Amino acid sequence: MAHRAQPVIGRTGTLAGGFVVAVVALSFAGLGLRAEVGRGLGPAEWAAIRFTVVQSAWSAVISVICAIPLARALARRRFWGRGALITLLGAPFILPVIVAVLGLLTVFGRTGWVNEVLGTLGLPGLSIYGLHGVVLAHVFFNLPLATRLLLQGWQSIPAERFRLAAQLDLPPAMIRRTLEYPLLLQVVPGAAALIFVICLTSFAVALTLGGGPRATTIELAIYQAFRFDFDLARASLLSLIQLVLAGSAALIVLWIIPDFPLTAGLDRKLRRWDARGGVHRALDAGIIALGSAFLLLPLMAILLAGLLGLPEMPSVVWQAAGNSLGVAVLSIVVLLAIALPMAGWISTRRAGGAEAIGLIGLSASPLMIGTGWFILINPVADPVPLALPVTALINALMALPFALRVLVPPMRDVLTTYDRLTRSLGLQGWPAWRWLVLPRLRAQIGFAAGLTGALSVGDLGVIALFADPDRATLPLQMYRLMGAYRTEAAAGAALLLLAMALGLFWICDKGARWRAEV
């Protein structure tokens, strides 16, 4: 492509990007108002920074490496329950950490299922605690995301290309080189950067599965500085370091992504003539089975514990579920209002540097953004009634990078492919959205909305800082139950949360793809 696509989208994209920057920057300004000179960073903090980078890098690399065969197998196969399986595989991503940790331990823990099986076979048990445990947990969380992003990439290769490859009788190695590798090069770095950034802010998971203070992350140091020492200067400084790490990772990766424009196909159903053989089938089936077992067994543990706990669950949990649903819907609306214009803006730029803006909401500690805004709001208004809207806004910001990752590549394709047509028709602004972009992106929009809603339901968020008793969200209520010894009831609440998050995701995802091929 010799020229860039025209900005059919208008100025709203820059506005949305500016809004995101403003939300984060103002919160830091708020923190700055109250920060006094603290004790600065000591060796403990530097150790935390090193560990954070190491575990995030491993988690990102391994998640993506595992996701490639899984996504490939899922892209090549059509089987009964495939759609449901793909939705279900996404569940770990939205679980509250404490639920996921207990689920993982039921399977991989010292007395977990895996070790029980190994024990009966007379084999030595394995310990999950250590760096490998941290990585295992992060792969559990992020493999679904990586798989989903890759799968989407695979499905963006027009079916006609594979048809052509089959007609030319290209061997599998050739198909890989001409079709799949360029695609991977396009999707993998972005997915890896995203997972790297998510893992940067990991805290309770890293500590618990890391086996102790060796596994101290930056986010833990932020929490400690804020919650225990009330050293806002140190907390903000650490938060800024987190932001810089995330930003640099994003910039490096987004700059190296090669330009790989795909021409449009006729949206035909995908068929893979190259993978019809028995060996291929068996291999794909094995990979799907293995991936599903890894992701679904801990979910099964959560389901079993939750079913036992459901009758114990007090009725206020339902009220909290209502609050969470409200927050989730609000998050979806906010997210779409920011993400769509931003995606449009980013798609018209050649290099993806602007996408890094989307990452700052995720990489800035939600605790710090919430606190910054509390400081800003407090002099002019009572922050407590704003707890739920602020939570919704921060949840939307956290979901923004995922939404952009999903929306930008297809939007870029649409804009470049239909560039000449839109120019000759003079299609711009809202009509361009209405007739060109939205219909072609509805699957991705639904996915982004569903992901935001699900994340929002599962996230404890900033509400813990200043919640009214009546405004508790479902995760908060679940933590309260756990804190009051009511572990079984909490497991019930966790199951409700899981069901709600998945349900919300399914409705958005399925609704948007209604009458469209997966």
Partner 1 sequence: MRRTLLATTLLLATQAGADTSVLTVYAGDYFTSEWGPGPKIEAGFEEICNCDLQFSTGDLLPRLLLEGERTKADVVIGLTSDVTAKARATGLFAPHGQDNAALTLPIDWGDDTFLPFNYGHTAFIYNETTMDAPPASFDALLEMDDDIKLVIQDPRTSISGLALVLWVEAVYGEKAGEVWTKLAPKILTVTKDWSASYGMFTDGEVDMVLSYTTSPAYHMFAEEDFTKKAAIFPEGHYFMVETVAKIAKTDAPELADAFMAYVLSTGFQQMIPTANWSLPSALPEDQWPDGWAQLPLPEKVLFYSEEEAESRKDQAIETWRTALSQ
Does position 112 interact with partner 1 (CB under 8 A)? The reply is yes
Q: Which stretch binds partner 1 (CB under 8 A): 8-16, 202-210, 290-298, 349-357?
A: 202-210
Per CB under 8 A, does 373 bind partner 1?
Answer: no
Q: Does 220 bind partner 1 (CB under 8 A)?
A: yes
Window 402-461: residues binding partner 1 (CB under 8 A): none
As a whole number of angstroms, the distance between CA 4 and CA 7 comes to 9
321 binds partner 1, rule: CB under 8 A: no
Secondary structure string (H, E, C) spanning 71-138: HHHHHHCCCCCHHHHHHHHCHHHHCCHHHHHHHHHHHHCCCCHHHHHHHHCCCCCCCCCCHHHHHHHH
Least distance (Å) between residue 460 CB and partner 1: 11
Binding to partner 1 by CB under 8 A, coded x per residue (else -) over 113-142, reads ----------------x-------------
Question: Contacting partner 1 (CB under 8 A), which of 98, 184, 192, 241?
Answer: 98
Question: Under the criterion CB under 8 A, does residue 375 sit at the interface with partner 1?
Answer: yes
Told to check if 263 binds partner 1 by CB under 8 A, we report: no
Residue 378 within binding range of partner 1, rule CB under 8 A: yes
Contact at 8 Å (CB) between 365 and 459? Answer: no
Q: Can residue 101 be called a binding residue for partner 1 (CB under 8 A)?
A: yes
What's the token pair of residue 403? 């939404």
Interaction of residue 105 with partner 1, rule CB under 8 A: yes
Question: Three-state SS for 32?
Answer: helix
**How far is the C-alpha of 89 from the C-alpha of 384, rounded, in Å?**
36
Instruction: Give ∠ CA 333-100-239 in degrees, rounded to 5.
Output: 65
Compute and round to an integer the Cα radius of gyration of the chain: 23
> Which span (72-80, 285-293, 377-385, 394-402) binds partner 1, by CB under 8 A?
377-385
Nearest residue to 283 (alpha-carbon basis) of 61, 70, 88, 85: 70
Cα→Cα distances 115→82, 128, 131, 135, 263, Å: 30, 10, 19, 19, 50
Q: Is 480 in the site for partner 1 (CB under 8 A)?
A: yes
C-alpha–C-alpha distance, residues 139 and 67, integer Å: 9
Instruction: Please identify, using beta-carbon distances, which residue of 216 and 331 lies nearer to partner 1.
Output: 216
Report the interface residues with partner 1, using CB under 8 A.
Answer: 34, 44, 47, 98, 101-102, 105-106, 109-112, 129, 203-204, 207-214, 216, 220, 223-224, 226-228, 230, 314, 316, 371, 374-375, 378-379, 382, 384, 464-469, 472, 476-477, 479-487, 490
